[in-house]
Amino acid sequence: MSTPTLDLRPAPVPLLLWRDHDDAVLGLPDMAMGEQPAAGDPQTTAADLYARGVRKVSVGSPLDLTGGMDAGTLVWLMVFLRELTSWSVAYDWTVLWGKHRDVWQRLNHLHPPRAMPDHPEAEDVLTRWRDTHYLCKCIHRHGPGFLEVRDRRAGDLSRFVIDDPHYLAAVETLIPGAPSDSVPPDVLAHLVEEGLVGTADDLAWWLPYRVRRWPWPSMIV
């Protein structure tokens, strides 16, 4: 049985590309790799950028949770940022939280944003986010007939092993982003409650990123 996919068509958002993640060298000759719009499949786009040697991406529009961005663009960008993190590609982004000021606690496995202009505690939150960020903070990996999630976003390790076929099918559907009604409502509600799925209007996406290589011995992570 094939997994349904969502054809996300984001609004025009420019992506600026560099060969290195270090801000100190970005102005050197040949470091800039040009600009391209956010388009196509976000997972494929992230993988292609890594293969081309891109090591930093700047997202030219704020990720807007206030309602000023359509859900398709929001989910495209969230899946894209998750995939860049999976490939260890740094990115520069800003976010507008609106009423969702505490959602950062579910997104703190991603690279810290450069700015949060509308958050009343932006300086404190950004400091905590930067000080506690590291690779593999919330990841998933596949085994034969199961999927393991290792989540340290709250500080301590929470480990989930998913082997129920209904849940496995739901995760596969949600990884690229999908309509919320494409997975069973009870499964979706459980995954959202555990902080493993994000939602925007009638769309949903999987939050943990796939681990591609362990930065330390796996039992430490």
What is the rounded distance in angstroms from the CA atom of residue 108 to the CA atom of residue 11? Answer: 25
Q: What pLDDT does 1 receive?
A: 35
Predicted confidence (pLDDT) at residue 215 exceeds the cutoff of 90: no
Q: pLDDT tens for residues 173-202?
A: 999 999 999 999 999 999 999 999 999 999
Q: What pLDDT does 219 receive?
A: 53
Q: Which residues of 180-212 are buried (b: 16+ CB within 10 A; e: fewer)?
A: bebbeeebbeebbeebbbbebeebbbbbbbbbe
| 211: confidence class by pLDDT, cuts 50, 70, 90 | confident
Q: What pLDDT does 214 receive?
A: 66
Q: pLDDT tens for residues 63-102?
A: 999 989 999 999 999 999 999 999 999 999 999 999 999 9
Q: pLDDT tens for residues 124-179?
A: 999 999 999 998 999 999 889 999 999 999 999 999 999 999 999 999 999 999 99
Q: Is the pTM of this model over 0.85?
A: yes
> Could you tell me the residue ranges of all domains in the chain?
14-132, 138-210
What does residue 101 show for φ and ψ, rounded to 5 degrees? Answer: -65, -20
Could you give the angle at which helices 42-51 and 71-86 cross, rounded to 10 degrees? 40
Predicted confidence (pLDDT) at residue 6 exceeds the cutoff of 70: no
Do residues 99 and 128 lie in contact, with contact meaning Cβ atoms separated by under 8 Å? no
Q: What pLDDT does 3 receive?
A: 44
For residue 156, give the H/E element and its range. none
C-alpha angle 158-208-12 in degrees, rounded to nearest 5: 155
More confident call, 218 vs 201: 201
For residue 150, give the H/E element and its range. strand 146-151
